Copies of this chain bind each other. A is one copy, B any other.
Amino acid sequence: MVLPFDILEYHQRLKETKQRMEEKGIEVLLITDPANMNYLSGYDAWSFYVHQMLVIIIDEPQPLWIGRYQDANGAKVTTWIYDENVIPYPDYYVQSDTHHPMDFIAEILLQIGHGNRRIGVEKDNYYFTGMALERLKNGLKNAAFLDATLLVNQVRLIKSDQEIEYMRRAAKITDLAMEKGIESIQPGVRECDTAAEIYYHLVKGTPDYGGEYPAIVPLMPTGEHTSIPHLTWSEKPFVDGNAVIIEIAGCYKRYHVPLARTVSIGQPNEKLKQVAPVVLEGIENVLAFAKPGVTCGELEEVWRRSIKKHGYEKEARLGYSVGLNYPPDWGEHTGSIRRGDTTVLQANMTFHLIPALWFDTDGIEISETFRVTEKGSERFTTYPQELIIRDHLDLSGQIS
């Protein structure tokens, strides 16, 4: 298997990670976030539903991969680390009430002489459970445990040119899937039919670049449910006069470019007609303001002022850093575009700007994923930035 990045890029990532470890006084870093495991080693498999980790030791050149026996070959073929550093645990540790993989891992750390060091763990990562923390502490009584949540995510904030290139490919897939998905929407078509169309193109990708599974499935709240952003599709047919929100991301080499659009089936109601220009103007203002040196909090301020003129307010954050990830989230959990966020924009940071407005029984989402450039910002996708209208009267020629 060919690694998606040059070996020197992985070395650079590891070096920056170790710098941050030193700043925090961490000698051994246990990485359980699958995106961080991938970022540092290349490891790529759907094996994160069992306990596994990458061990970064401050004074060792190579990470260790520790995971399930049947996944060890995957660590050998998808990473740059030496086979000797791939340490499998037997299958009786898997989802067992008598053996826990963290006991095995603690034992390994003791054996190789790191049981009494300052150990960083990603305490708030999905794949580092409360029990994992307890069992590690129990097995390593002479170690000091430090929180290293987001330590590697912070390194991920600024993308390399190769990462940006992968996001550009992902963006092409996003554009294609959004176009084909929206084309399929008409009264009587089931939501699952449109979701299938979207998924087909997300996964097939373009003739040049095959798609991968996104970290979040297509979100498709419809009608009254457009006030509820995280609903997926149902098996109900679309209804004339309803709106549907589509939020998807193309994915290439695990890099995501999300995009949301609101689609009116038939002519939009007054509320949508009124609010869409407010959102679009806000997006324009935010993207025009974004450049190196500006903070995420200042971006939010631009948005807030922009919609306040029209009498609107927004409770939730408007965006977040995005890129490499695995389920359940394509966000990177570092910079958020919201009030008070002090993240300073730098070139090659990438954000999903999704300044949705939700009301009691409806909502609107129009989003853009953008890159911070040397002097400003640029969008990844080209799909029209507008309220999309699927009027079956206009489309009569296309409908059988």
CA distance A328 to B216 in the complex (A): 11
Contact pick for A204, options B90, B192, B315, CB 8 Å: B192
Which residues 306-350 in A have Cβ within 8 Å of B in the complex? 315-317, 320, 327-329, 331, 333, 336, 338-339
CA distance A90 to B205 in the complex (A): 37
**What are the residues of chain B within 8 A of A225 when measuring CB–CB?**
1, 77
**B131→A129 contact, CB < 8 A:** no
Instruction: Indicate if A232 sits at the interface (CB-CB under 8 A).
Output: yes
How many copies the complex holds: the figure is 2
**A45→B230 contact, CB < 8 A:** yes
Closest Cβ of chain B to A242, distance in Å, is 15
Closest Cβ of chain B to A189, distance in Å, is 11
Contact pick for A228, options B77, B130, B200, B227, CB 8 Å: B77
For the side of the interface on A, what is the size category? 35 or more
CA distance A197 to B147 in the complex (A): 43
CA distance A195 to B44 in the complex (A): 17
Instruction: Indicate if A19 sits at the interface (CB-CB under 8 A).
Output: no
Q: Knowing A126-B127, A315-B91 are in contact, say whether A196-B216 is a contact too (CB < 8 A).
A: no
Of listed A49, A90, A191, A216, residue having the most chain B CB within 10 A: A49
A-B contact pairs, 12 of them (CB 8 A): A46-B219, A49-B216, A49-B328, A74-B230, A94-B317, A94-B336, A123-B129, A124-B129, A195-B204, A196-B203, A196-B211, A199-B199
Interface positions of A (Cβ within 8 A of B): 1, 44-49, 69-71, 73-74, 77-78, 90-92, 94-97, 100, 121, 123-134, 147, 149-150, 190-193, 195-197, 199-205, 209-213, 216-217, 219, 225, 227-235, 315-317, 320, 327-329, 331, 333, 336, 338-339, 358
Known: A199-B199, A212-B232. 8 other contacts (CB 8 A): A46-B216, A49-B216, A70-B358, A71-B230, A77-B228, A123-B131, A123-B134, A128-B130
